[in-house]
A and B are shown apart, each in its own frame.
Chain A
Amino acid sequence: MSSFEIEALLLSLQVALITLLISTPLALVLATLMARTRWHGKIVLDTLILLPMGLPPAVIGFGLLLTLSGDGSLGHWLHARTGFHLDFYPEGAVIAACLMTVPLMVRVLRPAFEATDPMLLPIARTLGASRWQGWWSISLPLVWPAVASAMALGLAAAWGESGATLVLAAALRPHHVGDTTAPVALVQALLNQENGDAAAARLAMISLGIALTAVVISEVGRRRWRRRWQARLRPVGLPSQTP
């Protein structure tokens, strides 16, 4: 395996982990908000959250370029205010990956929040828990298998994000080879290198392994959560097991 491939794998891992760190809290907040609150305009936020799932990833990459690069108005404003500069790594790759993972994670988390007894948090609050204490001690632990499931799935999605990343890579560093994420490296290997097929195959196999692991973890988490949920749906008064 060449250093080019290892570098690409490490970079992918880095991007995926940073993405997960950002998108997990964001997805948790959004899922709680969508599952437990009622307000006007909720459908607008709902649509915005899910929109990236429906758009072609290349369009998202293009959109990011338009808005956040120095030429875009938002990018220009951001640059003037904070010195922000859209580079491929880490900003571009992480933002692109977040846009793909957050909708996915909200999709997984929201039904889990919705399925828990909506009176648990209010009861906890009359027992003396603040909103935050109640969420932390009751709402979150009850859905943790779903959180694990969403995180595994998010990791896989962030790892594999390529559509938007490719567009960004093509636009921001057109003639640069190396120093890029695994899926982009795979494409570059096919295009530029001799023996590119072998490198691409290795990267593909590793990606497959990671995706498989993540999806299995995700599925185990989802099943655990379903089991808990169904245990709670049993009619009260009938003990599930006799000790």
Chain B
Amino acid sequence: MSEQRALPRTLSVELRLQQPGLDIRAQFRVLPGRVCALVGRSGSGKSALLKAAAGLEPARGGRIALGNETVYDSTSGLNKQPHERRLTLLDARTHLFPHFNVRANLRYGAKGLGLIRPGPKFDEIVNWLDLSSLLNRRPEGLTTSQRVRVALGRALLSGPNALLLDDPLGDVPAHEQEVLLELLAEIPGHFKLPVVLVSPRMNEVIRLADEVVILHEGRMASAGPAAQILSDVSLSTFLEGVHAGSVLEGQVKRHDVEWLLSEIDVSGQRVTVPALLHAVGSKVRLKIRARDVNLHRDPPSDTSCSNHLRGRITQIMLAGEHGTYGAVGIELDRALDADSMQIKAASPLWAMLTRKSIQSMGWAPGQPCVVSFKAMATTVSAWR
């Protein structure tokens, strides 16, 4: 899908909004071809931010820019219209135009308005989203996942400057989400667009996000590279239904067909997980809950845990409601092979221990240690 088109530009957003009972402030930057996820409890202001960025709701102040072009600046009074910003919004209800068939919906932004815009080709999008058999159908006859695909095609064909995804799979039945997630994962690479994602499902965030911004009651609680932010044990304070844990990035090294296991290279160390369908060499993200991680001084000899990684304790902090237990942060040693991938920022691995265990083993920051966890305790997801 290479076509001569305007160079994609970085989206910078800095916004202040006023909602009933909520004062929202956030600031983030998304490079072309990258995904920034806004996560937080419902009512933390994520959707309002997307709407204001697109120009659909008034903002209280701030600045929005695409590369060098400013589209909103409260200090100079600049406030471009939504159609001049072209930050295309897509949400769970898809909002297909009910009086158009699928073809006219797809063409709406590109040709329906009589504007000639550089954008991906119609046929490429139709084939990529597998819509060719639906072109003459009306939106009301489509299933939810078909609707999402049409809305996605319509958004991409309009030649947007950025894509704002507000829980696009929210209404799609769980068993159909995986396929759509694959399509979403291809967007940043193919179209080199800045993508902002709002999703309540952590698996989508782990799968798609390069950067994560955590919003809590309208304010940014945390922001940074996905693996680092998602490995923050305090995350569960800000999110619903998320267990404290770590997200490690790695690469599939080998499949063990006999035992139905797969090996993943994480900072040069091997992690064994139940068999994956991802090809050797593909990048994956591993999620390990902090309560499933054990700490040892030496590699244990008599254990059912198949994973033993070497590292160093970086910090110990009290966690839980009344400091009932301790969260131990461990930086994994890097044993880089010549061919192994370079990992930019090592994300910490967290182990949740009782205060008693920490005390009796005398753990302290700076000490070398061995962490162990069962293969069964890991959740692996593809990472584009």
Contact = CB atoms under 8 A, between A and B. Distances in A.
B9 interface: no
A117 to B, nearest CB: 6
Given A128-B109, A128-B158, A231 B140 contact: yes
B99 A126 contact: no
A125 B109 CA distance: 9
B82 A137 contact: no
A128 B143 contact: no
B117 A128 contact: yes
Interface in A59-101: none
Nearest to B155: A127
A127 B155 CA distance: 7
Contacts of A237: 143-144, 171, 173
Interface in B281-309: none
B144 A124 contact: no
Nearest to A130: B83
Nearest to A116: B98
A18 interface: no
Contacts of B97: 120, 124, 138
Interface residues of A, number: 28
A139 to B, nearest CB: 10
A228 interface: yes
A131 B81 CA distance: 9
A61 B99 CA distance: 42
A63 B353 CA distance: 85
B377 to A, nearest CB: 35
Interface in B70-125: 81-83, 85-89, 91, 93, 95, 97-99, 108-109, 112-113, 115, 117
A129 B83 contact: yes
B362 interface: no
B56 interface: yes
Contacts of B140: 231-232, 234, 240
B15 to A, nearest CB: 16
Given A122-B82, A125-B81, A239 B155 contact: no
Interface in B37-96: 51, 54-56, 81-83, 85-89, 91, 93, 95
A124 B108 contact: yes
A197 B99 CA distance: 51
A234 B143 CA distance: 12
B137 A122 contact: no
A142 B97 CA distance: 9
Interface residues of B, number: 39
B141 interface: yes
Contact of B95 (A119, A141, A231): A119
B312 interface: no
A232 B142 CA distance: 12
Interface in B157-202: 158-160, 164, 171, 173
A192 to B, nearest CB: 53
A213 interface: no
A241 B88 contact: no
Given A232-B98, A239-B142, A239-B143, A126 B89 contact: yes
B154 interface: yes
B255 interface: no
Contact of A125 (B83, B141, B155): B83
B171 A126 contact: no
B147 interface: yes
A236 B171 contact: yes
A243 B83 contact: no
Nearest to A122: B56
Interface in A212-243: 228, 231-232, 234, 236-237, 239-241, 243
A154 B85 CA distance: 40
B81 A133 contact: no
B125 to A, nearest CB: 14
Contacts of A26: none
A130 B87 CA distance: 14
A226 B99 CA distance: 14
A237 B87 CA distance: 27
A141 B99 contact: yes
Contacts of A127: 83, 86, 88, 108-109, 113, 154-155, 158, 160
Contact of A126 (B56, B141, B173): B56
Contacts of A29: none
B87 A126 contact: yes
Contacts of A228: 98
Which of B81, B82, B91, B158 is packed against the most chain A CB atoms within 10 Å? B82
Nearest to B137: A243
A123 interface: yes
Nearest to B158: A127
Given A127-B155, A128-B113, A239 B98 contact: no
A133 B113 contact: yes
Contact of A243 (B108, B117, B141): B141
Contacts of B95: 117, 119-120, 123
Interface string B229-265: 0000000000000000000000000000000000000
12 contacts: A119-B95, A122-B51, A122-B82, A123-B95, A125-B56, A125-B82, A127-B158, A128-B83, A137-B113, A236-B93, A237-B144, A243-B141
Interface of B: 51, 54-56, 81-83, 85-89, 91, 93, 95, 97-99, 108-109, 112-113, 115, 117, 137, 140-144, 147, 154-155, 158-160, 164, 171, 173
Interface of A: 117, 119-120, 122-131, 133, 137-138, 141-142, 228, 231-232, 234, 236-237, 239-241, 243
Closest 8 CB pairs of A and B: A127-B109, A125-B82, A237-B144, A127-B158, A123-B95, A122-B56, A126-B88, A119-B95
